[in-house]
Amino acid sequence: MTTKIKNTKIAILILALSLIIYFFLGKLKPEPDKNTIESKPPIVSSIILKKEEVQITIDSQGMVMPLIQTILSAEVSGTIVEISPKFVSGGFFRKGETLMVIDPSVYIVALKQAEALKDQRQNEFDDAVKIRKQGYLSESEYLSIVTALALAEAGLVNAQQNLDETKIQLPYDGMILEKSSDLGQSVSPGSRLGVTFAIDYAEVRLPISNSDLSFADLPTLSEISETGEAQGSRVVFEIKQSRQLQAREGYIVRSEGVVDEKTRMTYAVARIKDPYNLGGNPNINSLPMGSFVNAKIYTSQNYQFIKIPRSAIINNRQIILIDDQKRIYYQDIELIRTDKNFGYVRNGIKEGQRISTTSLEDGINGMSVRLTQN
């Protein structure tokens, strides 16, 4: 029993010595190197702000419409006895060309009768002048003869006018928009014959928003008071024809002078010369009436703005300034206007300041950044 106890004590002692040795060996083992991760500021692209002379362009759109459009109506009664082969929808005609003839026979007879009556009244007047000089004609009789001559002359003018109105002619080069009558048709005064329009000029109504209005340089009332128009800002019209983008130029001639109640837009009217290219210019294409066009209005003067890329603008109201210590600060701005690529600012920021063109999702005021080498 004593031997057993002795062996147990020896075993406990060996175990205790082993634990002590293991502990001291663990203390002597070198500690492993610690990996430390250093947090670096984010890298951003930036630009230096500067003022620039900017020509503002205003985007709009509209439909090409005739400057002059005429509803043709008969002025006399009769049957249409002659009609031009050009009197069809889309037909082209020249100034003074006869498009239609209403039977003139009745009006030719009426003209001859008016001429005969006028000659008769003229002879009576000549005789009355001679008799009056001799003192044999009273004042009332003389006035009656004078009145009869005047009525005969007026009747002759009216008869000639009626005869002239049997021929349908127009004082401009134009096209037929609508044909409402044809050969053999009987018409009376007021009967609709068709619709035509002049092709020397076309017009386009262009809506302009209130924010763009101050830059549009629209002709003033005093400028158009004499002639009803003025030559204002240049306009470039674009239309896609035959899968190609075609461009034509025009200019603003007037403003309609009122604000649309529904859209709150102001309409400027632009004019295009020779829309059908009758001049045969090989560098331009025709621009048919009714075409829908995109328009870019080029204002006549430049403005001083700080241009900011759209990528640098946050929610149309903020930018990120970068100070000399490469720390960022959020700055509110007031955009005067924007286009597809830039926002334009006059006040609130200064020329020479640096801004970030990189968006920072977790950016806070005072945070440090690193700049790209640009």
Amino acid in the structure at residue 152: A
pLDDT value at residue 214:
80
Answer for the pair 253, 232: CB distance below 8 angstroms, yes or no.
yes
Within this chain, domains 58-66+198-301 and 76-197 share the same CATH topology? no
Q: Is the pLDDT of residue 36 over 60?
A: no
For 341-348, what is the mean pLDDT? 85
Within 10 angstroms of residue 80's Cβ, the number of other Cβ atoms is 22
Separation of alpha carbons 311 and 78, rounded Å? 72
What superfamily in CATH does domain 58-66+198-301 come from? Efflux pump adaptor protein, beta barrel domain (2.40.30.170)
Q: What is the pLDDT of residues 137-174, one digit of tens each?
A: 888 888 998 999 999 999 999 999 999 999 999 999 99
The helix/strand/coil state of 111 is helix
**Is 2.40.420.20 the CATH number for 44-54+305-371?**
yes
Q: Of 67-81, 159-173, 182-196, 277-291, where does mean pLDDT reach its minimum?
A: 277-291
Answer for the pair 203, 269: CB distance below 8 angstroms, yes or no.
yes
Give the CATH number of domain 76-197.
2.40.50.100
List 78's β-bridge partners, or say none. 187
Answer for the pair 293, 204: CB distance below 8 angstroms, yes or no.
yes
For 285-305, what is the mean pLDDT? 88
For 198-227, what is the mean pLDDT? 85
Q: Is the pLDDT of residue 34 over 60?
A: no
Within 10 angstroms of residue 152's Cβ, the number of other Cβ atoms is 21
Confidence bin at 197 (pLDDT 50/70/90): very high
Question: If 0-12 CB within 10 Å is exposed, 13-18 middle and 19+ buried, where does residue 22 land?
Answer: exposed
Q: Where are the domains of the chain?
A: 44-54+305-371, 58-66+198-301, 76-197
Separation of alpha carbons 310 and 343, rounded Å? 6
Amino acid in the structure at residue 322: I
Mean pLDDT of all residues belonging to the chain: 87
User: From residue 177, how far is each of 160, 164, 193, 198, 240 by CA, in Å?
Assistant: 30, 24, 11, 10, 23
pTM, 2 dp: 0.72
